[in-house]
Amino acid sequence: MNYISILSYSLIIVGLFLWFWGTIPILSKRFSLFYKLHTLTVSDTVGSIFIVIGLLIRDVSHWAVLSIATISLILWNTFFSYLLARVSEKK
pLDDT in tens, 27-62: 878 878 778 888 888 888 899 999 999 999 998 898
DSSP 60: G
**CA 22, 19, 78, 81 torsion: positive or negative?**
negative
Burial 31-68 (b: 16+ CB within 10 A, else e): eeeeebbbbbbebbbbbbbbbbbbbbbbeeeeeeebee
pLDDT number for residue 47: 93
What does pTM read for this prediction? 0.79
Query: What's the total number of domains in the chain?
Result: 1
Q: pLDDT class for 9, splitting at 50, 70, 90? A: very high
Q: Which residues contact 90 (CB under 8 A, 6 or more apart)?
A: none
Residue 90 pLDDT more than 70?
A: no
Q: Domain containing 10: what range? A: 3-90
